[in-house]
Chains A and B, each alone.
Chain A
Amino acid sequence: MEPILDVEGLSISFRQYDRGAHQRTLPVIHDLSLSIAPGQVVAVVGSSGSGKSLLAHALLDILPANSAREGVIRYRGEPLTPARTAALRGTEIVLVPQGVTYLDPLMKVGPQICKGRREGRVREACRAVLARYGLPPDTEERYPFELSGGMARRVLISTAVMESPRLVIADEPTPGLDARAAGRILGHFRELADGGAGVLLITHDLELALTIADRVAVLYAGETVEEAAAADFTTPGGLRHPYTRALWAALPQNGFRPIPGSQPAPGEIPTGCRFAPRCPRCRGDCQETHPAYRSFRGGMVRCDFPGEVME
């Protein structure tokens, strides 16, 4: 089947002023590839600041003006040009943004969900969407500052699903929600996918993502380091990249073990493998050569020694 979304070799960089009029280019996403078929939920997980939200913004062509983009993004077989993106976003391609600051602070919630339209049909749909997410009807009349964190989150999702999207890009839709509300929302994404839409779920809640995702792409320092089937996480030895294994071991119920160090900042990227400085399995070569992204055991991995189990 033709993928709904196909990202090939996406790179994003920012132009910054260094000193005075000197500019420098800061690469933040490097050679990212990803595809979503109709009916699929693909989760993108990875460290904070690894470029997850930028990926979402690149797909919608809403990156800041000082950014540059390379690579190809295809939507239903055709390249996503700026004009095409502008025509599709908000209707066929929708974003559930990460920050609750994306709501207009001076506008009541109801009109924001209806996008200013006042016909009875739209207002009814708005009420139905609110009810679906367990928000009381008087939510319409509230301003964003009158909402709790979890309620604001559900309002953001309501604004996206008012249309009938073919591609949903959800950027961290669940933090601040209790397990039941989060489960209900993810269940709704699953329904959208089962109805033929593609869902890109950007999250760091690996556990929750696994409940609905078909595939999981793992990002580290602006690169995809692994693409795995959801089942690989629960199969012993199923994971390929040491970073993915470290993520799994850091879950509260799986040991809560942090690995030391932090992800390299853009502009301080090592020449070899980007995970090498923190990798428990790092060899001499890993510091020197940058590993290619390749197929391995039914998934993808960017590691020259994948799949080895840690002692």
Chain B
Amino acid sequence: MSLEAKDLTFRYPRRSRGSVLEGVFLTVEPGERVGLSAPSGRGKTTLCKLLSGYERPDRGEVLLDGRPLSSYKGFCPVQMIWQHPETAVDPLLRLGETLYEAGPVEDRLLDALHIQPAWLERYPLELSGGELQRFCIARALREGVRYLLCDEITAMLDLITQAQIWDFLLEEARQRELGLVIVSHNTLLLERLCTRIHPLT
């Protein structure tokens, strides 16, 4: 029972350069924390987008428990948390609406992520990147999630908040047996967090 990328090839349309990803294989088991590292522009984010169904591969497939990811209906069990939270929330909605758009979120999560009740009434422009990212994390941790793809999710946070968020996420992942894919340029951070590191070449 796992999340599998099988022979993924992908190229963005209208791009003169070749494929971003070529024949990529990756398997993530529940409870595993896989670190992805590569120089920028090599397709780390693209791989996350394929694994969570935001893009379809040109060749190859993404399987969840042996079934194609696209055959799952409703809330996707593979959730991606994005590198730039300011582009992942609707600028015209108050954050409370963004958060509850897809259903209820446990209060426990809001407490653990230090989301202050007053922030729910604010618009994205009125919060810092780090504050927005907490909403994106809470939104991804809905019941039914089994794999989390964390694309540089703490790159915009201060060190104490970064340590707090990972402290929380690792515990949450342990209790719920989530599989994690962690993208970061910080090698020391990956070494600290991951059970194994997969260089994307």
- Does A252 lie within 8 Å of B192, measured CB to CB? yes
Chain B: CB-nearest residue to A138: B16
Contact size class for A? 35 or more
Q: Within 8 Å of chain A (Cβ to Cβ): is B75?
A: no
A49 x B15 contact (CB < 8 A): no
A151-182, CB < 8 A from B: 151, 172, 175-182
Contact across chains for A48 and B156 when beta carbons are under 8 A apart: yes
Size category of the binding interface on chain B: 35 or more
A231: CB under 8 A from chain B?
no
Residues of A within 8 A of B129 (CB): 48, 98-99
Task: Provide the bound-state CA to CA distance between A250 and B154, in Å.
Answer: 13
Q: Which of A148, A253, A259 interacts with B160 by CB under 8 Å? A: A259
Inter-chain contacts of B156 with A (CB < 8 A):
48, 172, 175, 204
Partner of A148, one of B40, B118, B166, B192: B40
A101 in contact with B87 given A146-B12, A206-B159 (CB within 8 Å)? yes
Bitwise interface map of B from 97 to 109 toward A, beta carbon under 8 Å scored 1, else 0: 0000000000000
Q: Does A262 contact B (CB under 8 A)?
A: yes
A-B contact pairs, 16 of them (CB 8 A): A47-B160, A47-B161, A48-B158, A53-B128, A146-B12, A146-B15, A149-B45, A150-B41, A172-B156, A176-B83, A178-B38, A180-B39, A182-B185, A256-B166, A265-B116, A265-B118
Asked, given contacts A146-B15, A176-B155, whether A252 binds B189 with beta carbons under 8 Å apart, the answer is yes
Q: Which of chain B's residues have a CB closer than 8 A to the CB of A181?
A: 39-40
A118 is an interface residue with CB less than 8 A from chain B? no
Q: Is A45 an interface residue (CB 8 A)?
A: yes
B83 touches A247 (CB 8 A): no
A138-B16, A258-B164, A265-B118 as given contacts; A204 in contact with B40, CB under 8 Å: no
Q: How far apart sit A130 and B5, CA to CA, in the bound complex (Å)?
A: 34
Q: Do B157 and A176 have beta carbons less than 8 Å apart?
A: no
Contact with B along A240-257 (1 / 0, CB 8 A): 000000110011110011
Give the residues in chain B near A27, CB-CB below 8 Å: none
Q: A175-B152, A176-B152 are in contact. Are A252 and B186 (CB under 8 A)?
A: yes
Give chain A's interface residues, CB within 8 Å of chain B. Answer: 45-50, 53, 98-101, 136, 138, 146, 148-151, 172, 175-182, 204, 206, 246-247, 250-253, 256-259, 261-262, 265
From A45, which residue of chain B is reached at the shortest CB distance?
B158
Query: Within the complex, which residue of B40, B86, B160 is in contact with A149, where a contact is CB–CB below 8 Å?
Result: B40
With a cutoff of 8 Å between Cβ atoms, the chain B residues found around residue A251 in the complex are 159, 188
Nearest CB of chain B from residue A220's CB, rounded to whole Å: 10
User: With A172-B156, A175-B156, A178-B185 in contact, is A256–B41 under 8 Å at CB?
Assistant: no
Give CA–CA (A182, B12) in the complex, Å: 26
Given A49-B130, A178-B185, A256-B163, A100:B158 Cβ within 8 A? no
Nearest CB on B from A21, distance (A): 17
Taking a contact as CB atoms closer than 8 A, the residue among B41, B114, B188 that contacts A151 in the complex is B41
| A109 CB, min distance to chain B CBs, angstroms | 14
Q: Is B162 at the interface (CB under 8 A from chain A)?
A: yes
Residues of A within 8 A of B116 (CB): 262, 265
Point out the residue from A48, A98, A256 that lies within 8 Å of B157, measured CB to CB. A48
Q: Which chain B positions have C-beta within 8 A of A136?
A: 17
Residue B11 is within 8 A (CB to CB) of chain A in the complex = no
Question: Judging by beta carbons under 8 Å apart, are A49 and B192 in contact?
Answer: no
CB distance from B134 to the nearest CB of A (A): 10
A101, A177, A247: the one contacting B159 at CB < 8 Å is A247
A182 to B185, CA, bound (A): 10
A-contacting residues, B109-131, CB 8 Å? 114, 116, 118, 127-131
**A48 with B152: CB separation less than 8 A:** no
